[in-house]
Structure 1
Amino acid sequence: MGMHPLHEAAMRLADIGFSRPRSKTKDLVGLLLCHGARAWRSSQSRAVIRISARTPIGHAAVKIRLQ
């Protein structure tokens, strides 16, 4: 599993400060938008998706399960 979203945002802010001194505003806005979206997704409940396709005689043609 990845880093905590707040820790990852802090690390990116630290990297921005040292790498490119003049493009900070655009990078910061993008970083904050990305962080907000990531934090929102991580606060949502998990979803379970099941897809099954059957042949005309009833056999499973395709089974996909994402958890």
Structure 2
Amino acid sequence: MGMHPLHEAAMRLADLGFARPRSKTKDLVGLLLCHGARAWRSSQPRVFVHVRAGTPVGHSAVKIRFQ
């Protein structure tokens, strides 16, 4: 599991002073957009995905399960 989104955003803001020679405004906008998307995803309910793909004769070709 990763860091809490707010903590990760704060750590990135702290690192902006040592960033590449790139526009700090671009970095800040990208950081805020990324944080907003991450916060939205973390607020969504948990889902379970179970995929089965079969062959024409009925055997399982692929089984994928995410939990």
- Interval of TM-score (by shorter of Structure 1 and Structure 2): 0.7 to 0.9
What does 1:4-19 correspond to in 2, within 5 Å?
4-19=4-19
Match of 2:58 in 1: 58
Letter in 1 for 2:17: G
Distance 1:20 1:55, change over 3 A: closer
CA apart distance, 1:11: 0.6
CA apart distance, 1:65: 1.0
TM-score computed with the length of structure 1 as normaliser: 0.82
Structure 1: state its 5+ residue gaps: none
Cα RMSD, aligned residues only = 2.0
TM-score computed with the length of structure 2 as normaliser: 0.82
Task: State the 4+ residue runs in structure 1 displaced beyond 3 angstroms.
Answer: 18-22
Structure 2: state its 5+ residue gaps: none
Structure 1 SS opposite 2:64? strand
% identical aligned pairs: 81
Alpha-carbon distance in 2 for matches of 1:22, 1:51: 43
